[in-house]
Chain A
Amino acid sequence: MDEQLQILPFIIVFLPAVSAVFQTLFTLKEGGISAGIATGAVWISFLCSVVLAFIIYTGNIPGYNYSITWLTAGNLKLEIGYQLDDLTLLMLLVVTFVSGLIHIYSIGYMRGDAAEGRYFAGLNFFTTAMLGIVLSNNFVMLFIFWELVGLSSYLLIGHWFERPAAANAAKKAFITNRLGDFGFILGIILVWGFIGSVRFDEISAKISRNPEIFGVYGTVAGLLIFCGAVGKSAQFPLHVWLPDAMEGPTPVSALIHAATMVAAGVYMLCRVFFIFTAKAAVPASLAMLAVSPLTVIAWIGAITALLSAIIAIQQNDIKRILAYSTLSQLGYMVMAVGLSGPSPAMFHLITHAFFKALLFLCAGSVIIALHHNQDIWTMGGLKSKMPITFITFLIALLAICGIPPFSGFYSKDSIIALAQHKSTALFVIAIIVAFLTALYMSRLLVVVFFGKNRSHHSATSKESAYVMTIPLIILAIMSIIAGFIGIDDKLNSIFGIAVKEGEKLNLFYPFSHAPLAAWLGLGVSVLGIVSAFLLYSSKDKDPITERLGIIATTMRNKFYFDEIYDGIIELTHDALSKASDFIDRWIVSGFVIKGIHGTVEICGRALRLVQTGNIQTYVFILSAGAAVLIYYLIRH
């Protein structure tokens, strides 16, 4: 039993890595073989996860911690280790399952791509990195895999690196993530400095014993750790990389930017939630400065959710709309963490992983059918052309809009109910975002699948191959049932919240538990869907754009965040380069280099005059020198 527990997680994590290395070394040119190996590796990981979960549940093992000391430097002890608790197992299953389906889907989507081998190696590498994050039991190991996720997302977003837009998007994602990670590693150092350990269980124990262990740095520690999640989960103000990352292949968007990578930030927040329970010990006179990091987190999440929902309404690229909806849903999750609800956040993360992966894969199916055209206003009428894609998309849409009994309703409701409980302002924002979500998602549905064909491609499109539609169907099933099969109960028990009583299938639980939140959430969603149908059905272009004028332009241009950042970077960059230009030109080059060179040259020119080439001059100088020397010697 113990040996299995020790070895299985390593297989789960490193099998995709081994497969990625194998593909890179041997089958880079053989797309089909690579695809088979990669998919097989991930599904074996999934099976191992299932076996692991089975062992843990039947053996009734409460939590298993296993560490190998990696290196010891002074009193810093670094370990490679994992912890197996319910949270880890749940994430393991979700990540390997969704990743496995996306691998299968990619076989169809990437068929005939020039670099299929590289693509599948990257996908496997990414899965390894994500699983590493999930299993980590300490901050350092988490950070290492965290960075590997960043690296592999760089490789995958830049898969079509011949396109400048893709290359730039990859760079932007990586650099923006680094920005957040810088704060994250400072946070890790701070935690290690105060607590002397990077193990989650030890930190948790120490904080629960003494909540003021960080002294005045309580808030700072929480916020720095949160920085990492801001980067990875694309929260305001570092959200700009995610929409651009849509330049990658669509299954990559589904895997990285919907189900796993951006989820890593939220998962990390939930995993180390105890950090945010630490209190800042500030003197009474500065009490108003003692903001809990959770307040900041909740508001950042709410701002992200609202902002990106507003932007999404005026986007016309099918993948960008989904990207902004991802941002918006991530905002929900982060807000839930901020409202001290890691359990609703994780619940929404898991349901979101299913339905968002499904939405992206449906979008990919549409994009393939339309020969890589992504503008929704050239689509239309795909309902009858692509029935499977349409139905699965509809299911995902109802899930994300929060219509019962689809999964999104339950998870979103748990967040809205939490917000209602904790803060009225955030509750209002959550309701508005729910309305906007229903509006822009239904807009997408109406424009793409209903109405008439707006282009030749959409008229001649046909359903994708089975290798692509079967993952859609499986994900659609998960999107329907994930809400009421008891994932939330499991999560509640993980985070120590009382498990609710009543029926086993919690179909109607939200209506009895928090009726206001449930009915209001449902009401605004239906309102959003209905208004989208009224606004957009059988329109050829966006009717809102003209009516809102400049506001619509602002929304379309994403509130000019990219331009503002560009401007700020340009200004600082210009100032810095001017300063360094001055130093280089006048001090290094002018004074030091030219000074030395000039002195030597002047001396050289002077001395050159002595070299007449006339032997008699030399003799004269020699004898004169000898005479002076002799005179000098005689005198003394």
Chain B
Amino acid sequence: MKIGIEHYLILSAILFCVGLFGVIARRNLLIILMGVELMLNAGNLALVAFSRFNGNLDGQLMVFFTITVAAAEVAVGLALIVSIYRWFKATGSDDLTFMKL
């Protein structure tokens, strides 16, 4: 069986959906953050696949940026979660509805 771009994209889509499911369905903020990471990496996978099959390096270049930004995001995100935990003594998303008026 020849591995084509479809396989990569389907894998990427599955990863994305798993990440999205994690973000939507799980209550724990840490898991949500992990879901977000998963979604980002699904995007990275798709970009790398496009780069490979198109024969240029633009996609890979983009992935480097994404990884950098993701790292920063994790740093800030984890800091926020720690801060929220200290402030509200809660890490469940259900408890954090104070954005509602």
Contacts and interface: CB of A to CB of B under 8 A. Distances in A.
A615 B100 CA distance: 10
Contact of A616 (B24, B98, B100, B101): B24
Contact of B97 (A614, A620, A623): A614
B96 A612 contact: no
Contacts of A619: 20, 23-24
A615 B97 CA distance: 8
B92 to A, nearest CB: 11
A620 B24 CA distance: 6
A613 interface: yes
Interface string A601-631: 0000000000111111001100100000000
A623 B35 CA distance: 14
Contacts of B32: 616
B6 interface: no
Contacts of A620: 24
B98 A613 contact: yes
B24 A613 contact: no
Contacts of B93: 614-616
Interface in B32-52: 32
Contacts of A623: 20, 24
B1 interface: no
Interface string B78-101: 000000000000000110111111
A613 B100 contact: yes
A616 B25 CA distance: 7
B101 A611 contact: yes
Contacts of A614: 93-94, 96-97, 100
A588 B94 CA distance: 46
A612 B94 CA distance: 10
Q: Which of B23, B24, B97 has the most CB of A within 10 A?
A: B24
B100 A611 contact: yes
Nearest to A627: B20
Nearest to A620: B24
A611 B93 CA distance: 15
A620 B99 CA distance: 16
Interface string B8-29: 0000000000001001110000
A611 B96 CA distance: 13
Nearest to A608: B101
A449 to B, nearest CB: 87
Nearest to B29: A615
A605 to B, nearest CB: 13
**Chain A at the B interface: SS class:** helix
A612 B25 CA distance: 16
Nearest to A621: B24
Query: Which bucket holds chain A's interface residue count?
Result: under 10
Contacts of A616: 23-25, 32, 93
B20 A613 contact: no
Contacts of A611: 100-101
Contacts of B98: 613
Contacts of B20: 619, 623
A67 to B, nearest CB: 74
A625 to B, nearest CB: 13
B24 A612 contact: no
Nearest to B94: A614
B21 to A, nearest CB: 10
Nearest to A623: B20
B99 to A, nearest CB: 5
Contacts of B94: 614
A611 B99 CA distance: 9
A432 to B, nearest CB: 86
Contacts of B97: 612-614
Nearest to A615: B93
A307 B100 CA distance: 80
A300 B100 CA distance: 79
B56 to A, nearest CB: 26
A611 B98 CA distance: 11
B73 to A, nearest CB: 15
A614 B23 CA distance: 12
A618 to B, nearest CB: 9
A612 B95 CA distance: 12
B7 to A, nearest CB: 20
Contacts of B23: 616, 619
A615 B23 CA distance: 9
Interface string A145-163: 0000000000000000000
B51 to A, nearest CB: 22
Nearest to B99: A613
Nearest to B95: A614
A615 B96 contact: yes
A82 B98 CA distance: 83
Interface string A394-429: 000000000000000000000000000000000000
A612 B101 CA distance: 9
Contacts of B100: 611-614
A623 B25 CA distance: 13
B39 to A, nearest CB: 10
A615 B93 CA distance: 7
Contacts of A613: 96-100
A611 B100 CA distance: 6
A282 B4 CA distance: 106
A232 B56 CA distance: 101
A614 B100 CA distance: 8
A615 B95 CA distance: 11
A620 B98 CA distance: 18
A251 B98 CA distance: 80
Contacts of B96: 613-615
A399 B80 CA distance: 107
A611 B94 CA distance: 14
A477 B32 CA distance: 114
A614 B101 CA distance: 12
A601 to B, nearest CB: 15
A619 B26 CA distance: 12
Q: Which of A613, A616, A620 has the most CB of B within 10 A?
A: A616
Interface in A479-508: none
Contacts of A612: 97, 100
Interface string B54-93: 0000000000000000000000000000000000000001
6 contacts: A612-B97, A612-B100, A613-B99, A615-B99, A619-B20, A623-B24
Interface of A: 611-616, 619-620, 623
Interface of B: 20, 23-25, 32, 93-94, 96-101
Ranked 3 nearest A-B pairs via Cβ:
A613-B100, A613-B97, A613-B99
